[in-house]
Amino acid sequence: MKNIYTLLFLTIILTSCGEGKKKSVESIIETNDLVKIRNKKTEIVSEQKIIASQLKQLDEAIAKLDIVKKVPLVTTFKVNDTVFTHYLELQGSVNTKNLLVIYPEFSGILTNVYVKEGQKVKKGQLLAKIDDGGLSQQLGLLQIQEELAKTTYERQQRLWDQKIGSELQFLQAQSNYKAQAKAVNQLQEQVEKTNVRAPFSGTIDDVITDQGSVVAPGQSQLMRIVNLKDMYIESEVPEKYITAISKNKNVLVEFPILGKSMEAKIRQVGNYINPANRTFKVEISIPNKEKNIKPNLTAKLKINDYSNRNALLIPQSIISENANGQQYIYVVRNKQKNKEAIAEKIIIKTGKTQGDIIEILTGLTPGDEIIKEGARSVSDGQKVKILNQ
């Protein structure tokens, strides 16, 4: 508008003065007469003041007659207190306590493998046999010697009970029998190590070493056994949530690969903070009746770490920040029947977020009408037009 007024002003000057006046100004300047030049300047300044006064009168008339005023168009919404439940979102991995790779306890040739992959076994069931290298024969000889020592001991005991023979003979027979029995037990334990048995009931997931291979303790993986009943999810939680996470807290579990979700509870909270990443571990037990949840399956966890029954929530997208780092939004005040109102800047303090929604801790009260669309184009105290349907 200022540019239009300036153009109008110049046009009026040119029109009123005309070409003749322009030549008159030039001719007066050429006279080099100071008095005439000053008089001409005073004349033009007077004409300028008259035109400025006329322009002001025109502006006032336009303001009264212009019914379509240029004010920002905005949309608004009212904020009311509502229940806000915040979830800590984590990623975890499925584990089971009953997942084990079986190693041999004895060195030798794997002479027999009695199970195959996918076979269900019971705790203590014989899975494989390792050649004992003659220990069975040695055990047999020791057992014969044990029987002889036992018979000798029992006879000496009967004689000693009848006060026949010396105490020394009785004690020697007793000691010999105990030594033979201990030697038999030790060798039996060694022979038993050649039998590979199931440590718990489950399913043979993989037979790793074939029959006929040479195996050694702690080096040769024989087979993997798994039980899918006692399943749990393990996840690492940042230490800042240590006061919000506790045992028996509800957890929403989602398995993206399976397209399945379920509710569960935290069964264990770790008591150790990992110094490398400042996290602690949690375990969430999960049912697995259908046996489709497998170890190492990825799971998404949502743990309720905060709730507020009277929260004020707004979209994050309408929040701005000033040079001092303060967050602010605009609300409307003095709303008229024609839906015109005044925009007011409000400094706010925010809380937790969930998606695009953020909690407002201070600055707002229930019922405040907040500018949503158009919030970036208004200023404090500016008149706005509300376009809500």
> Rounded to whole angstroms, how far apart are CA atoms 221 and 209?
7
Contact yes or no for 375/329 (Cβ under 8 A): yes
Q: Thinking of the domain 73-84+309-386, which architecture would CATH place it in?
A: Beta Barrel (2.40)
Q: Is the pTM of this model over 0.95?
A: no
CATH number 2.40.50.100 is the correct assignment for the domain at 100-225: yes
DSSP H/E element including 236: strand 231-238
> Rounded to whole angstroms, how far apart are CA atoms 111 and 212?
5
pLDDT tens digits along 214-270: 999 989 999 999 988 888 999 999 998 898 888 988 899 999 999 999 999 999 999
Per-chain mean pLDDT for the chain: 86
Give pLDDT, residue 98: 87
> Rounded to whole angstroms, how far apart are CA atoms 307 and 208?
50
> Rounded to whole angstroms, how far apart are CA atoms 322 and 314?
19
Give pLDDT, residue 236: 94
Count of beta carbons in the 10 Å neighbourhood of residue 364: 18
Place 299 in a pLDDT band, splitting at 50, 70 and 90.
very high
Angle of the 2-31 helix axis to the 34-65 helix axis, nearest 10: 170
Give pLDDT, residue 36: 80
> Rounded to whole angstroms, how far apart are CA atoms 340 and 383?
7
pLDDT tens digits along 33-89: 888 888 888 888 888 888 888 888 887 777 676 655 578 888 999 999 899 988 889
Q: What is the CATH number of domain 89-97+227-307?
A: 2.40.30.170
> Rounded to whole angstroms, how far apart are CA atoms 237 and 305?
12
Residue 5 pLDDT greater than 50, yes or no: no
User: Which residue type sits at 240?
Assistant: K
Q: What are phi and psi of 229, to 5 degrees?
A: -80, -50
The burial of 194, by beta-carbon neighbours within 10 Å (0-12 exposed, 13-18 middle, 19 or more buried), is given as buried
Q: What three-state secondary structure class fits 51?
A: helix
pLDDT tens digits along 40-56: 888 888 888 888 888 88
